[in-house]
């Protein structure tokens, strides 16, 4: 298994839990800011074609346990509608937000084609790959606008060195996005380096208080963090984005765990909305432990909240994607036949 495989598991695992949060975030965003509307020039017909980005005419997707042949752009449609719902946005901003998401969905498909080749298909319909919900095409109010976007920009993927990128994204970076290598270790990814986002004050602030005993039970429930009767917890090191890269746990023994693991372990016991991110500080008052943080999600790649703010002020989808994946470009992928190994 490669590092990028693990990273994808993280981002996709988070995606499902975030869907409702996202809708709320869109609503909050829409209420707080006036939409700047302007026409963004786009020229998809002049987008160069790329050979390295394999994009078949159809994918084999396992939907509710059955393998179906799905045309690539129908897959992009059913995935985009499952991932975003820009409720309350002005039409021009909603269109840019949806275009960004269609490109993310297509790039994921191009980068992870044949992920389930040993089982006889390309991608599954769950958070393991990307959530694909064809029923949304019938029920979503954004179907028509997304179809128009796809018609105009079909085949477009994000590439780096001629290959489709690992287009990681999250709900809210808290003001600064993180480098993939800081969050999950491994080889640095040149286009996932992190940096300051727009409108840091518009990002989510959160607080979570629990007891030391409950937190102790949570960390003792996982072999990666078991210390035996937790007595102290502290951030042991931060990355450049301000996230807790390491967390020190003291009990019968002392251990240091990765921030991303600590969050997953805490959330598994204390609830999926306990620690919304690793961008937190820890304060202790008697037996109470309070985490005060910003953002929601792992913080790597595109921040959906920042992308929406950029879309609202009139940034084009290409500008938005370039801001979160520096050094990458948009290209039209060749539509080539793709052979899937039969079981
Ligand atoms: Zn899968
Ligand atoms: Zn952000």
User: Domain residues of the chain, as ranges?
Assistant: 3-194+299-335, 205-294
pLDDT at 15 over 70: no
DSSP 285-298: ETTEEEEEEE-BS-
CB proximity list for 84: less than 8 A, separation 6 or greater: 22, 26, 97, 98, 101, 304
The number of the ligand nearest the C-alpha atom of 175 reads 2
- 322 C-alpha to ligand 2 centroid (Å): 14
CB proximity list for 221: less than 8 A, separation 6 or greater: 265, 268, 269
- 62 C-alpha to ligand 1 centroid (Å): 9
- 148 C-alpha to ligand 2 centroid (Å): 27
Burial of 256 (0-12, 13-18, 19+ CB in 10 A): middle
Burial of 104 (0-12, 13-18, 19+ CB in 10 A): buried
> Does the CA dihedral 104-105-110-111 come out positive or negative?
positive
**Segment 253-277 mean pLDDT:** 97
CA–CA separation, 70 vs 314, rounded Å?
Answer: 33
- What phi and psi values does residue 222 have, to the nearest 5 degrees? -125, 130
Q: Between residues 17 and 86, which one has the greater pLDDT?
A: 86
- 144 C-alpha to ligand 1 centroid (Å): 27
- 226 C-alpha to ligand 1 centroid (Å): 30
- Give, rounded to a whole angstrom, the gap between the first and last alpha carbons of the chain: 21
- 124 C-alpha to ligand 1 centroid (Å): 4
pLDDT at 30 over 90: no
- 47 C-alpha to ligand 2 centroid (Å): 28
Per residue in 202-258, pLDDT (tens digit) is 999 999 999 999 999 999 999 999 999 999 999 999 999 999 999 999 999 999 999
- 127 C-alpha to ligand 1 centroid (Å): 7
CA–CA separation, 316 vs 320, rounded Å?
Answer: 6
| CA–centroid distance for 240 within its chain | 19
pLDDT at 158 over 80: yes
On whether the CB atoms of residues 282 and 233 are closer than 8 A, the answer is yes
> What is the reported pLDDT for 2?
30
Percent helix, strand and coil across the chain, each rounded to 5? Answer: 40, 25, 35
- 9 C-alpha to ligand 1 centroid (Å): 9
Residue among 168, 162, 196 nearest 180 (CA):
168
CA–CA separation, 302 vs 309, rounded Å?
Answer: 12
**Segment 291-304 mean pLDDT:** 97
CA–CA separation, 173 vs 297, rounded Å?
Answer: 7
**pLDDT-derived band of residue 147, with 50, 70 and 90 as boundaries?**
very high
Structure tokens at 80: 């985009």
């Amino acid at each position: 298994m490669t590092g990028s495989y693990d990273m994808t598991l993280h981002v996709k695992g988070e995606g499902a839990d975030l869907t409702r949060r996202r809708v709320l975030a869109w609503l909050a965003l829409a209420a707080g800011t006036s939409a700047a509307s302007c026409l963004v020039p786009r020229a998809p017909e002049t987008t160069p074609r790329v050979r390295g980005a394999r994009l078949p005419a159809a994918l084999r997707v396992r939907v509710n346990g059955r393998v179906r042949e799905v045309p690539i752009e129908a897959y992009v449609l059913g995935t985009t509608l499952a991932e975003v719902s820009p409720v309350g946005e002005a039409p021009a901003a909603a269109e840019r937000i949806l275009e960004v998401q269609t490109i993310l969905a297509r790039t994921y498909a191009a980068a992870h084609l044949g992920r389930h080749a040993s089982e006889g298909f390309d991608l599954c319909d769950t958070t393991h790959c990307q959530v694909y919900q064809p029923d949304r095409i019938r029920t979503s109010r954004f179907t028509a606008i997304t179809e128009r976007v796809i018609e105009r920009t079909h085949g477009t993927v994000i590439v780096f060195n001629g290959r489709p990128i690992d287009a990681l994204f999250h709900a809210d970076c808290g003001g600064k996005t993180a480098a993939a290598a800081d969050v999950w270790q491994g080889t640095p990814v040149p286009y996932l380096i992190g940096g300051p986002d727009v409108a840091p004050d518009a990002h989510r602030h959160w607080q979570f208080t629990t007891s030391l005993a409950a937190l102790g039970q949570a960390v003792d429930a996982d072999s990666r963090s078991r210390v035996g009767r937790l007595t102290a917890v502290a951030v042991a090191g931060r990355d450049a984005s301000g996230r807790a890269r390491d967390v020190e746990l003291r009990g019968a023994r002392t251990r240091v765990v990765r921030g991303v693991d600590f969050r997953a372990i805490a959330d598994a016991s204390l609830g999926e909305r306990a620690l919304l991110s690793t961008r937190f500080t820890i304060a202790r008052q008697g037996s109470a432990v309070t985490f005060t943080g910003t953002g929601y999600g792992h913080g790597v790649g595109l921040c959906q909240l920042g992308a929406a703010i950029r879309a609202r002020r009139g940034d084009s989808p290409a500008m938005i994607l370039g801001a979160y994946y520096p050094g990458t470009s948009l290209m039209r992928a060749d539509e080539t036949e793709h052979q899937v190994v039969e079981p």
